[in-house]
Structure 1
């Protein structure tokens, strides 16, 4: 199972009080999402080489606590929903004390890079589809 994405906030990501600015969490979701996809063998570069783009349709973030400069965080992305045309993630950010400080989600779809038409991975890219299907089986058995 994916071990999570770890990072420490950079100084420029904080305000004058050393608290991480709220806008950075969305960037961190993306970093963690890219890390999970690479872990699964679905690097964005590989999908783009195959002619697939994965735009963000929506993003949501709930702040439950503060993070400070220098504090290591773990971001756990999870594929919450996959149906061959849509891909939704959920995210949990925890601090060094293993307290949940932020949760969120993002929604995506798959488009053909040159035409921006919707595609179905199951039909058009069965190898990529199988990777997501296998991941869903493994991740759902963990609960």
Structure 2
């Protein structure tokens, strides 16, 4: 299983009045982690989009454990939790500046045609991605 890591400097604008990262910003960080994993595998989302394919979130699950605060660096770890050739579930852990688990979560995605939102097979449409995802995914 391949795990990608990305470090984020917490900006003031990402926090609430208590200096704690606002809950919705973790979702943005999850996207950054997902993008980093895809880049580490040798691909870019823009490659899909240029071919008229999108990868929307179809399910999201997060558990907030402990806060990340302004002035800290957050570490995002991302991996492929499940992949079946059509849908992919990414796993995430985000750690605060004290290296304590701040969030654990998953986002599930499917590839769809931009004009119709009809699902497409990653296995057939992007065979190189399919092969890389098979190699990188979490093993049972």
TM > 0.5 fold call? yes
| SS of structure 2 residue aligned to 1:16 | coil
Distance change >3 Å, CA 127–CA 27, structure 1 → 2? same
> Match of 1:26?
27
More helix by share: 1
| Structure 1 residues 77-103: Cα deviation after superposition (integer angstroms, max 9, x where no partner) | 111111111011111011222211111
Post-superposition shift, 1:123? 2.0
> Match of 1:42?
43
Unaligned runs of 5+ in 2: none
State the TM-score, normalized to the length of structure 1: 0.88
Post-superposition shift, 1:72? 0.5
Does the aligned pair in 2 maintain the 1:19–1:69 contact within 8 Å? yes
By relative contact order (CA 8 Å, sep 6+), the higher-ranking structure is 2
Distance change >3 Å, CA 61–CA 119, structure 1 → 2? same
User: Which deviates more from structure 2 when the two are superposed, residues 40-49 or residues 124-133?
Assistant: 124-133
Does the aligned pair in 1 maintain the 2:48–2:54 contact within 8 Å? yes
| In structure 2, C-alpha distance between the alignment counterparts of 1:118 and 1:129, rounded to whole Å | 15
State the TM-score, normalized to the length of structure 2: 0.90
Post-superposition shift, 1:8? 1.4
- Pairwise CA RMSD of aligned residues? 1.7
